[in-house]
Amino acid sequence: MTTERSVSASRVIAAPPAKIFDVLADPSRHCDFDGSDSVLGAKGDPPRLTLGARFGMRMRIHLPYSIKNTVVEFEEGRRIGWRHFGRHVWRYELEPVDGGTRVTETFDWAPALWPAMLERTGAPKKNLAAIEATLQRLDRVVTAESA
């Protein structure tokens, strides 16, 4: 789904919200489910995420780099979102449904410092494809651990 300045996709995962949220709130697990193949791993040994938490990630998009993120949205078991200096937000929303949990991931560039630049570089379209891959990988990670 695409809105004016956000793209998102959803997937039902056969696991309870708490199980999925625990994976999302652990930065050391982000490389396990990242569908963009740009997350290499967490910097250091970051604790479980909470509102206002800051965490560093080792990344690679053409060249390796590091980035610091801040958790800007947090509702235990339901919603978590973070951003870095560019101010665009990566958000996960979890909703219990028959058969498990509907997980919706959103790339929201409305609050970005340079939204037009993100649009010119094709970031929304690339990120939508990565979101779909991320949800598929998150499903595999969570359900494999439940088995």
- Residue 63 belongs to domain with CATH number: 3.30.530.20
Q: pLDDT of 4-48, one tens digit each?
A: 899 999 999 999 999 999 999 999 999 999 999 999 999 998 899
Query: What's the confidence (pLDDT) of residue 134?
Result: 97
Placement of tokens 């965490």 in the chain? 55
Over residues 51-57, mean pLDDT: 97
Q: Is 93 in contact with 103 (CB distance < 8 Å)?
A: yes
DSSP alpha helix (H) spans, 1-147: 17-24, 30-33, 115-120, 123-146
The residues, ordered by sequence, that sit 6+ positions from 37 with a Cβ below 8 Å of its Cβ are none
Average pLDDT over residues 112-135: 94
The reported pLDDT for the residue numbered 3 is 60
Please give the average per-residue pLDDT across 119-136, as a whole number. 95
Confidence of residue 147 (pLDDT cuts 50, 70, 90): low
Beta strands 79-83 and 63-75 are antiparallel
Predicted local confidence at residue 4, as pLDDT: 86
Structure tokens at 27: 């930065």
Q: Which amino acid appears at position 3 of this protein?
A: T
Strand pairing category for 63-75 and 54-61: antiparallel
Q: What is the pLDDT of residues 55-76, one digit of tens each?
A: 999 999 999 999 999 999 999 9
Tell me the one-letter amino acid at 13.
I
Which pLDDT value is given to residue 10?
98
Asked if pLDDT for residue 2 goes beyond 60, the answer is: no
Q: How far apart are CA 52 and CA 109, in angstroms?
A: 19
The predicted structure's pLDDT at residue 142: 97
Q: Determine the average pLDDT of the residues in 112-130.
A: 94
Domain that holds residue 14: 2-146
Which whole number is the average pLDDT over 66-93?
97
Of the candidates 29, 78, 75, the one whose C-alpha atom is nearest the C-alpha of residue 55 is 29
- What is the count of structural domains for the chain? 1
pLDDT, mean over the chain: 95
Q: Which residue has the tokens 């982000």?
A: 30
